[in-house]
Structure 1
Amino acid sequence: MSRLPPLRLLTTFETVSRLGSMREAATRLNVTQPAVTQALKALEEHVGAPLIDRTTRPARLTEAGQQLARATRDGLDLIADTIEEIRISAGLEEQRLTVACTIGMATYWLMPRLTDFYARYPDVMVNVQVPPTDLPAISQGTDLVLRYGAGNWNDGETTKLFDETVCPVGRPALVERLLASGEGLAQAPLIHVRSTETRHWAGWSDYLTLRGLGKPGSAGQTFDNYVQAVQATLDTRGLMLGWYSITDGLVTDGSLVHWPEGALDLGTGYYATVNPNGAQKAAVKAFVRWLGDMRLALETP
């Protein structure tokens, strides 16, 4: 015999114990009173002890009945609460999405703009993940990735957000001093970003070679991510290669300035790729619409 009786018997017993009347329980359960009596007898047979004292009028719970009533009530309440939590969670899942991108993209492009997204979609929660690689991949639990490159990915529907350009940037006073002294970029103090996870981004050697300016004149300072490089640049420790996705906001507010006529288009851009498994989620659709608005805003002079 199973340790647990059928749930039907327990719900009938709980209704009887709560209402204190088989007749009222039958009405509440929309069954006949004999059906309630039969269910109680079946439950007593399963338990092996009388649960109802039928010698009294009205019938009352025995001590065993009182024990089982407390346990049944607690158990059914826990089941009801759990079901409600699952329902809420299932509803929230539709209003949640996870975006993966580089730490530089997250810090300087995405996070400052999320205020606008939340203003439009206050019920949607965006979880931003920053994996160690500079090319985040579509993976389980990731709804959308923002990546730099040529856009030749086939792991989901991919849309270009903006063309990415690179230009040396620095503190206004430092750039002004370097220009006044006649020092070229190759002789300027340079800030490098080098790590096994930034291999898809051009460095100073690539930039200077493409501009026909030779090799860097000094080793400069090297960091393993763009957040540290930006801080060093703000501390006037040198010039860094500024990417639109990372330094545009700082140039706009005047914290940094571009090196005159230093912009270089490498034919790359930033792209959004949607995980096919989450493309129909309400939150993902909202985020994709918002990204489209951001793209249009960037294209509008």
Structure 2
Amino acid sequence: MSRLSPADLSAFLAVARHRSFRKAAVELGVSASALSHALRVIESRVDLRLFNRTTRSVALTEAGERLYARVSPAFRDIADAIEDLNALRGKPAGTLRLNAGRAAVQLVLLPVASRFLQAYPDVRIEVAVDDALVDIVGAGYDAGLRFGETIAGDMTAIPIGPRQRSAVVATPAYFARYGVPQTPHDLAQHPCIRQRFPGGALYRWEFERGGRPLTIEVDGPLTLSDWDLAMDAALAGIGLAYLFEARVQPLIDSGRLQRVLADWCPYYPGLYLYSPSRRQQPAALKAFIDFIKQDNGENAA
């Protein structure tokens, strides 16, 4: 059996983390076909199949799982050692890899990242936009952004950005035709624009009044998996949409959309930046966390 080089192992780890040649190729800066060829060469060297490949998926074999379990901690230790050196430079540098849902990026991350990158010009931020819940450790991300209730208990998390609130909206022409719902239960008589999560479940609209939560399973002619498209559909007059208040407030202010059931839509805790509990945080991540904490304090004041 021929020896594997660090470059070989880096290629293997990238594919193992992403379970995708395309995504791993983007991370490594090579073509997917070149990476696939490199993995075939690696498998020929170890004389074992490391991945099971189909046209739609990539999965580790038992041999691949064993190699990944042994090699990935060693590469993490190497990364930590390099971060120890970066700490001596006096200023954070490197690439901060984040995973976040589209709404998190639009509502919170982009404004915060803009201010952070001005303060730390030697840091780069790479964001993977993914509305599905992702194992950020297994996928090789430094941190993720999600709402608090979706964060695993073994992660450390800090709030980022303001509290959030939802809004039920439609066009004035829609309400002239269908009338205005007075309570969430009235939504059963209205065409609603439904949202489907990446995992396949339909989102149940959430309300609260007098401290009592209420979830409503709405119905309607259109189901989407993208919040921005749901906003576009509402503007097109297709039905009622349940969206983030911060995203639709300009359209409400301009009169293009009209809001209803506002007293049923309470504020709830906003987004959190979460990361694994590690002995040595990457310098760029530590700087980002410290920046967010300072930003939270200034905004609170």
- Tell me the TM-score normalized by structure 2: 0.53
Q: What amino acid is the match of 1:238?
A: G
Q: Is the 8 A contact 1:136 1:145 kept in 2?
A: no
Give the Å deviation of 1:168.
Answer: 1.4
Write the distance in 2 (CA, Å) between the matches of 1:257 and 1:113.
Answer: 29
Give the Å deviation of 1:214.
Answer: 7.0
Give the Å deviation of 1:190.
Answer: 1.5
Distance 1:95 1:226, change over 3 A: same
Q: In the alignment, what sits opposite 1:139?
A: 138
Matched, 1:127 2:126: yes
Count of paired positions: 204
Q: In the alignment, what sits opposite 1:21?
A: none
The gaps in structure 2 that reach 5 residues or longer are: 1-81
Secondary structure of the residue that 1:238 maps to in structure 2?
coil
Q: What amino acid is the match of 1:138?
A: V
Give the Å deviation of 1:113.
Answer: 4.1
Q: In the alignment, what sits opposite 2:199?
A: 197
Q: In the alignment, what sits opposite 1:251?
A: 249
Q: Is the 8 A contact 1:101 1:128 kept in 2?
A: yes
Q: Is the 8 A contact 1:151 1:158 kept in 2?
A: no
Secondary structure of the residue that 1:150 maps to in structure 2?
helix
Q: What amino acid is the match of 1:284?
A: L
Give the Å deviation of 1:264.
Answer: 2.9
Write the distance in 2 (CA, Å) between the matches of 1:128 and 1:98.
Answer: 6
Matched, 1:264 2:265: yes
Q: Is the 8 A contact 1:98 1:128 kept in 2?
A: yes
Which deviates further from its counterpart, 254-263 or 267-276? 254-263
Write the distance in 2 (CA, Å) between the matches of 1:155 and 1:212.
Answer: 29
Secondary structure of the residue that 1:153 maps to in structure 2?
coil
Write the distance in 2 (CA, Å) between the matches of 1:97 and 1:283.
Answer: 6
Identity fraction in percent: 19
Q: In the alignment, what sits opposite 1:117?
A: 116
Distance 1:250 1:115, change over 3 A: farther
Give the Å deviation of 1:262.
Answer: 3.9
Residue correspondence of structure 1 range 208-223 to structure 2 within 5 A: 216=218, 218-223=219-224
What does the per-residue CA deviation read over 1:221-254, in whole Å, with 9 as the maximum and x for residues that have no partner? Answer: 21023232233234343322123xxx40431563
Flag the structure with larger Rg: 1
Write the distance in 2 (CA, Å) between the matches of 1:197 and 1:153.
Answer: 17
What does the per-residue CA deviation read over 1:241-293, in whole Å, with 9 as the maximum and x for residues that have no partner? Answer: 123xxx40431563655425344348654221123448532211221123224
Distance 1:182 1:128, change over 3 A: closer
Write the distance in 2 (CA, Å) between the matches of 1:198 and 1:110.
Answer: 26
Write the distance in 2 (CA, Å) between the matches of 1:294 and 1:112.
Answer: 11
Give the Å deviation of 1:126.
Answer: 0.6
Give the Å deviation of 1:94.
Answer: 3.7
Write the distance in 1 (CA, Å) between the matches of 2:241 and 2:281.
Answer: 40
Give the Å deviation of 1:128.
Answer: 0.4
The gaps in structure 1 that reach 5 residues or longer are: 1-85
Write the distance in 1 (CA, Å) between the matches of 2:279 and 2:96.
Answer: 9
Distance 1:177 1:147, change over 3 A: same
Write the distance in 1 (CA, Å) between the matches of 2:283 and 2:164.
Answer: 29
Residue correspondence of structure 1 range 56-205 to structure 2 within 5 A: 94-131=93-130, 133-134=132-133, 137-150=136-149, 153-161=152-160, 162-171=162-171, 173-174=172-173, 177=176, 181-184=179-182, 186=187, 187-197=189-199, 199=201, 202-204=203-205
Say what the alpha-carbon RMSD is for the aligned residues.
Answer: 4.0
Q: In the alignment, what sits opposite 1:288?
A: 289
Secondary structure of the residue that 1:133 maps to in structure 2?
coil
Q: Is the 8 A contact 2:98 2:142 kept in 1?
A: yes
